[in-house]
Amino acid sequence: MKTLVTGVIGADTHIVGNRILSLALEKAGYKMVPLGALTPADAFIKAAVETAADGIMVSSLYGQGELDCRGFRDQCMEAGIGDILIYVGGNLVVGKQPWEEVEARYIDMGFDRVFPPGTRPKDVITALENDFAARAEGKKRAAT
Amino acid sequence: MTANRHALLIDFGSTYTKLRAVDLDDPRIVGAGQGPSTVDSDITVGLVRALDDLEAKLGILPAFSYRLASSSAAGGLRMVTVGLVRELTAEAARQAALGAGARLVGSFAYKLTSGDLEEIAVLDPDILLLVGGTDGGNEETVLHNGAMLARESLSCPVVFAGNRNALDGVRAEFEQAGKNIVAADNVMPNFGELNIEPARAAIRRVFIDRIVHAKGIDRAANMFDRVLMPTPAAVLEGARLLGDGGHGRAGLGSLMVVDVGGATTDVHSIATGMPQDEGAVYQGLPPPYAMRTVEGDLGMRHNINSIIEETGVEIFAADSGLDRDRVAVLTELFSKNVGRLPETSDERAFDHALARAAVGLSVRRHAGTVETAYTPMGPVIVQHGKDLRNVTALIGTGGALVHGENSDSILAAALADKSDPMSLRPRAPKLFLDKDYILYACGLLSMVEPDVALDFGLANLHPLTQETRDGRTSVA
């Protein structure tokens, strides 16, 4: 069984979407480690180390995610889990910005996938299945 | 008419062998005795002296129905803990060891290095607690650490309470080296879930089965029935019983114990301590319900300098009513004569301020804190550690409180302070003094006759009326 850490990063209290996602993932057969709202970046990483998690799912809804997520992959590397799958999703920037730019910025920070507002849980589940299947074949993540 | 039954409760301490004789049918202390601690030569000698002392006071020793002992002699139960993430399983291991009454001499996190192993060999603990990973979680680190420890010439018993998936692997490493481990359930089976009772129980079993013998306490085995646990664990059990009550009899409710000693100050709390304010969010590892912290730098005789330094010399001088030069002179005097009791009024004022400082600092460290996090949705209260503001009882013990004057004023230093609103210390608990050292006796007795132990404990704590010089009053 794959283990996933979820939570809402930074000083962000918007827990509902993250909770719905956690429930959907649990139903899909994942072992969930839900950290809830107001979770500092290092708490995600420490939890992932202790539980030997296969992935970290970061939510950010309040527009400040860019600040909170800066260096997330680097911190994972420092903690010895540099290869872990990390996704981020939500209202990731302030104001209206072209999605491609937002996505590129987060990919640049080391996130494997970036999800816009309004993403359905089943899309996340499909992405996870594809990525874990790709990883089983030694790839970093699936092409699509 | 049949004669009342009696119990003998023994504390093999580091300095004294203490005895309490308790009437089980009319729960009260009928006598106390004391002898020196002679564990380094022959523990029997001190126990015989203490029994003679007791007999001299009672006239005749009753036939005891129970003769139970706890021990903190021969350095106490010296433990080393090894975990994975410092704030997670490594912290859970520390909590388990402290809750088992151990004197924690070292705690390690992440993968052990050869330097760590050398340090552990020098520390030469009585028991090592090895944990790491949630069940089904990280196996790699605990397997690495297990293999390192198995290969090391370490001879102390090892209790394993880590990821259950790693147990077989760790056990195999130890067996290959001709050693055993004692397995207990994981201290953190799921992320964020603290489960220290099984590890505590395993530590206690090892203590009874092996450490009692290794320390030579069982040389006096024909003079008592059983050594049940380390003395700090007995105090914690006593506190738990007094707080929780039992069998339809109410206890004191959530409570704290502050034990001010010469070398350390111990704080115990029996409370869930979860957030009480609407909308407050808890962060970090949940604290254990029965929690013990030990402040090794806040001993009334061995750490005078560090107590005054952390308090601030000016504040300390003001609280004692002495000037700074006098404080310096008395610091020197007491530090060099750790057995000295205060004689002059200056010395008493100094000792009083020192006890207040030790109580204040140790309780502040034990209690949780809140901070305000400003979010775009408005401010949010974030809590770390235990909220002890509504604790209903605060019990003080230890030489400085028992023998000093104005023990209510010393104990009041534990209370919440308007100048430090972020610290979640008790606001208005009832204050009690354990002046007859009954907490350990109560804890030992709770193992065999919990109802009697509860009656005994409740009847023998001394309520303090709090009319302190700083004008706080209790709303007990």
Query: Is position A143 within any domain?
Result: no
Mean pLDDT of B347-368: 96
Q: What is the rounded distance in angstroms from the CA atom of residue B33 to the CA atom of residue B223? A: 15
Please judge whether A50 and B89 are an interchain contact, meaning their C-beta atoms are less than 8 angstroms apart.
yes
Indicate which residue of A12, A54, A112, A131 is catalytic: A12
Report the CATH number that the domain containing residue A107 is assigned in CATH.
3.40.50.280
Query: Is position A79 within any domain?
Result: yes
Please judge whether B139 and A64 are an interchain contact, meaning their C-beta atoms are less than 8 angstroms apart.
no
The number of domains in chain A is 1
Per-residue pLDDT at B474: 41
Six-digit token pair at B121?
């060999």
B368 near B287, Cβ under 8 Å?
A: yes
Q: Which long-range contacts (CB under 8 A, 24 or more apart) does B48-57 make?
A: B48/B223, B49/B17, B50/B10, B50/B16, B50/B17, B50/B18, B50/B19, B51/B19, B51/B223, B53/B19, B54/B19, B54/B21, B57/B31, B57/B32, B57/B33
Per-residue pLDDT at B473: 43
Mean pLDDT of B37-50: 92
Q: Which residues of B touch A33 (CB under 8 A)?
A: 191-192
Q: Which residues of B touch A53 (CB under 8 A)?
A: 137
Closest CA to B36 of B52, B18, B21, B54: B18
Per-residue pLDDT at B376: 78
Q: What is the rounded distance in angstroms from the CA atom of residue B231 to the CA atom of residue B424? A: 28
Per-residue pLDDT at A78: 84
Query: Is position A123 within any domain?
Result: no
The residue assigned the tokens 């020098």 is: B122
Report the chain B residue with the minimal C-alpha distance to residue A37: B281
Please judge whether A3 and B136 are an interchain contact, meaning their C-beta atoms are less than 8 angstroms apart.
yes
Six-digit token pair at B168?
């077989």
Which backbone phi and psi does B182 adopt, to 5 degrees?
Answer: -105, 125
Which of A13, A31, A36 lies at the smallest CB-CB distance from B380?
A13
Query: Smallest CA–CA separation between A23 and chain B, in Å?
Result: 17
Q: What is the rounded distance in angstroms from the CA atom of residue B266 to the CA atom of residue B429? A: 18
Which backbone phi and psi does B276 adopt, to 5 degrees?
Answer: -105, -20
Q: Is the pLDDT of residue B161 over 50?
A: yes
Query: Is position A139 within any domain?
Result: no
* Chain CA centroid to CA B242, Å: 15
Q: What is the rounded distance in angstroms from the CA atom of residue B235 to the CA atom of residue B268? A: 9
Dmax (CA) for chain B in angstroms is 76
Q: Is the pLDDT of residue B445 over 60?
A: yes
Query: Is position A131 within any domain?
Result: no
Q: Is the pLDDT of residue B476 over 90?
A: no
Q: Is the pLDDT of residue B475 over 60?
A: no
**Which domain covers residue A98, as residue numbers?**
3-118
Q: Which residues of B touch A63 (CB under 8 A)?
A: 376
Is A108 noted as a catalytic residue in this protein? no
> Is B374 at the interface with chain A, CB within 8 A?
yes
Report the chain A residue with the minimal C-alpha distance to residue B383: A38
Q: Which residues of B touch A49 (CB under 8 A)?
A: 84-85, 138
Query: Is position A134 within any domain?
Result: no
Please judge whether A13 and B139 are an interchain contact, meaning their C-beta atoms are less than 8 angstroms apart.
no
Closest CA to A48 of A89, A114, A94, A3: A3
pLDDT per position as a tens digit, B165-223:
999 999 999 999 999 999 999 999 999 899 999 999 999 999 999 999 988 999 988 99
Please judge whether A13 and B375 are an interchain contact, meaning their C-beta atoms are less than 8 angstroms apart.
yes
Report the chain A residue with the minimal C-alpha distance to residue B111: A80
Q: What is the rounded distance in angstroms from the CA atom of residue B139 to the CA atom of residue B79? A: 23
Per-residue pLDDT at B466: 56
Six-digit token pair at B55?
């007999």
Q: What is the percent of chain B with per-residue pLDDT over 90, rounded to a whole number? A: 82
Per-residue pLDDT at B65: 96
Burial class (CB in 10 A: 0-12, 13-18, 19+), A124: buried
> Is B279 at the interface with chain A, CB within 8 A?
no
> Is B56 at the interface with chain A, CB within 8 A?
no
Q: Which residues of A touch B380 (CB under 8 A)?
A: 11, 13, 38
Query: Is position A135 within any domain?
Result: no
B430-433 and B462-464 beta bridge pairing: antiparallel
Q: How confident is the model at residue B1 (pLDDT cuts 50, 70, 90)?
A: low
Query: How many residues does this entry show for chain A?
Result: 144
**Average pLDDT, 10 consecutive residues per value, chain A (144 residues):** 96 92 97 94 95 97 91 91 96 91 95 95 96 92 82
Instruction: Compute chain A's Rg from CA coordinates.
Output: 14
Closest CA to B366 of B251, B248, B259, B475: B259
Per-residue pLDDT at B278: 79
Please judge whether A50 and B191 are an interchain contact, meaning their C-beta atoms are less than 8 angstroms apart.
yes
pLDDT per position as a tens digit, B252-274:
999 999 999 888 999 999 999 99
CA distances from B392 to B10, B246, B257 (A): 29, 17, 12
Task: Select the more confidently predicted residue: B278 or B70.
Answer: B70
> Is A37 at the interface with chain B, CB within 8 A?
yes
DSSP string, chain A: --EEEEEEBSS----HHHHHHHHHHHHTTPEEEE--SSB-HHHHHHHHHHHT-SEEEEEE-SS-HHHHHTTHHHHHHHTT-TT-EEEEEES-SSS---HHHHHHHHHHTT-SEEE-TT--HHHHHHHHHHHHHHHHTT-SS---
Per-residue pLDDT at B281: 87
Closest CA to A69 of A99, A95, A33, A105: A105
Mean pLDDT of B59-88: 94
Six-digit token pair at B138?
């990280």
> Is A62 at the interface with chain B, CB within 8 A?
yes
Per-residue pLDDT at A140: 85
Query: Is position A46 within any domain?
Result: yes
Mean pLDDT of chain B: 93
Q: What is the rounded distance in angstroms from the CA atom of residue A65 to the CA atom of residue A76? A: 17
Question: Would you tell me which residues 69-98 of chain A have a C-beta closer than 8 angstroms to some C-beta of chain B?
Answer: none
Is A112 noted as a catalytic residue in this protein? no
B404 near B355, Cβ under 8 Å?
A: yes
Per-residue pLDDT at A113: 97
Which of B192, B376, B382 lies at the smallest CB-CB distance from A62?
B376
Please judge whether B281 and A37 are an interchain contact, meaning their C-beta atoms are less than 8 angstroms apart.
yes
Those residues whose C-beta lies under 8 Å from the C-beta of residue B104, and which sit 6 or more positions away, are B79, B80, B81, B94, B97, B98, B294
